[in-house]
Structure 1
Amino acid sequence: MPRTGGKRRLDERDADGQPSHIGGFKFYFVGQRWEWSDEVARMHGYEPGSVQPTTELLLSHKHPEDRRLVQDLLDHALHTGDPFSSRHRFIDTRGELHDVLVVADRMFDDRGAVIGSSGYYVDLTASLDEARQEVLDEQLPGLFESRAVIEQAKGALMVIYRISADQAFRVLQWRSQETNKKLRSLAAQLIAEIGELPAAPSSIQSQFDHLLLTIHARIPGE
């Protein structure tokens, strides 16, 4: 039986100083070739470099109730060229259950042709405890003055990705740290652009992923 992982601090880092709950991946459509970062390898319970990630290996780790969903999403990506994005669960080599958000965008070659999907695994298993939240609030001056726009952005993430308010805030904070942009600025830009997304349900998550991964480049004055 899968076990729920222990509570992990939001700022926990690996040996290289990277956030241990976030890692990158690349999925090349030709040959279904995967690359994953050390963080994603460790999420699955492997020492970096000890195994070669494959579609079969990744599917073998998926929670039985989510395996078909992930397979269908991969098939869709291969047939349409859309990025592989998902919210699902997997079980690591220790039998611990992880709840992850996969945020991705299209990957292009030098001629502009779509060759795959690249993005991030965000492990949502850990939650913020009250003590950590107090420290976080102290480190983000002006957060409460900007609560309205941040709450709106959190709400959008909660609806699109089916995640909790704490998890949505963690995703926003990750993008803020990753891009060196103010949290409020990212949230405001997200809300400003979300109305331009297509109404088609089949493409809303992939379009939102692209928006989330690129809005930092369009923030004025920073």
Structure 2
Amino acid sequence: MASDHGVYRIIEPMADRSSTNDPSPADGTIGDGATQHVGSFRYLLADDTWEWSDAVARMHGYEPGTVSPTTELLLQHKHPDDKEHIAVVLEAVRSVGKPFSSRHRIIDTAGQVKHVAVIGDRLLDEDGTLLGTSGFYLDLSDAFEEEVREGVDLAVNALAESRAVIEQAKGALMLVYCISAQHAFEVLAWRSQETNVKLRTLAEQLVADITSGPGTEAMSRAAFDHLLMTLHERVVGD
């Protein structure tokens, strides 16, 4: 499904994430809380509940701990032009815990429109039972159009010139998600903090996975989403 401002897709199941490696929603603390661009969310099928990290609450205009997110609240914050598509995505998440990838707009409590990318993967318990979905929000709202153009240009340069491994990993994220270098670094830093794996180690794993696979241009967005969310599971001896 697509619109002029976003792409909304239900991803067919791949290898699944286990809750043993997925703590409660957490943030990548890059600078002060007001400037965080990455935050976690989780949806639990059993009791039909959503959980937001502090950063995701702030993206929607709430102080942490002041609101309990619900499906209805999520939809209230979607841009009117995007709401119908997102409602379909959320229904699939709620009914069968479908993984998903979306890029759309939200409207915070102050009426400010923000561009976000949201990635969700399946959440399983130790026995492989489906618990729900977990993933992250990436706030793309600041200098959106300029950063998209800059991000694509820098990504191509970073990959072509074979820079340091972190730069290569950032380049891959920039190219796939059309985000700025700073946003790409924040995603890597957040994954590092959430999984307790060194950022450089995760970057090396991402580059290795891309190099041994079809590459970012040939890889589907769904496959890259899952690759990013499961990097820590393939790291040895960090």
Q: Percent identical across equivalent pairs?
A: 54
Say yes or no: does 1:11 pair with 2:27. Answer: no
- The alpha carbon displacement at 1:152 in A equals 3.3
**Matched residue SS, 1:155:** helix
TM-score, normalising length: structure 2: 0.64
Q: What's 1:37 paired with?
A: 53
- The alpha carbon displacement at 1:110 in A equals 5.0
Pairing of 1:101-112 with structure 2 (within 5 A): 101-109=117-125, 111-112=127-128
Aligned equivalent of 1:185, options 201, 204, 208: 201
- The alpha carbon displacement at 1:92 in A equals 0.5
With over 3 angstroms needed to count, the CA separation of the structure-2 counterparts of 1:177 and 1:147, relative to structure 1, is farther
1:75-106 Cα distance to aligned partner (Å, 9 max, x none)? 34345532243222211001122222223321
- CA RMSD of the aligned region, Å? 3.3
- The alpha carbon displacement at 1:150 in A equals 3.2
Q: What's 1:141 paired with?
A: none
Aligned equivalent of 2:189, options 173, 187, 193: 173
Q: Distance in 1 between matches of 2:59 and 2:111?
A: 11
**Matched residue SS, 1:65:** helix
With over 3 angstroms needed to count, the CA separation of the structure-2 counterparts of 1:207 and 1:115, relative to structure 1, is farther
Give the aligned residue type for 2:93. A
Aligned equivalent of 2:83, options 52, 60, 67: 67
Give the aligned residue type for 1:12. D
- The alpha carbon displacement at 1:31 in A equals 5.6
Give the aligned residue type for 2:132. G
Aligned equivalent of 1:86, options 102, 115, 121: 102
**Matched residue SS, 1:51:** coil
Q: Distance in 2 between matches of 1:99 and 1:23?
A: 14
Q: Distance in 2 between matches of 1:212 and 1:185?
A: 13
Unaligned runs of 5+ in 2: 1-28, 144-161
Pairing of 1:125-144 with structure 2 (within 5 A): 125-126=141-142
Give the aligned residue type for 1:185. T
Q: Distance in 1 between matches of 2:183 and 2:111?
A: 23
- The alpha carbon displacement at 1:63 in A equals 1.7
**Matched residue SS, 2:31:** coil
User: Runs in 1 of length 4+ with deviation above 4 angstroms?
Assistant: none
Contact kept in structure 1, 2:33 and 2:55, CA below 8 Å: no
Contact kept in structure 2, 1:82 and 1:206, CA below 8 Å: no
Q: Distance in 2 between matches of 1:219 and 1:102?
A: 24
Contact kept in structure 1, 2:52 and 2:69, CA below 8 Å: yes
- The alpha carbon displacement at 1:32 in A equals 3.6
Q: Distance in 1 between matches of 2:93 and 2:112?
A: 28
Say yes or no: does 1:98 pair with 2:121. Answer: no
**Matched residue SS, 1:176:** helix
Say yes or no: does 1:23 pair with 2:39. Answer: yes
1:147-175 Cα distance to aligned partner (Å, 9 max, x none)? 34334323332343232343223222332
Give the aligned residue type for 2:71. T
**Matched residue SS, 1:154:** helix
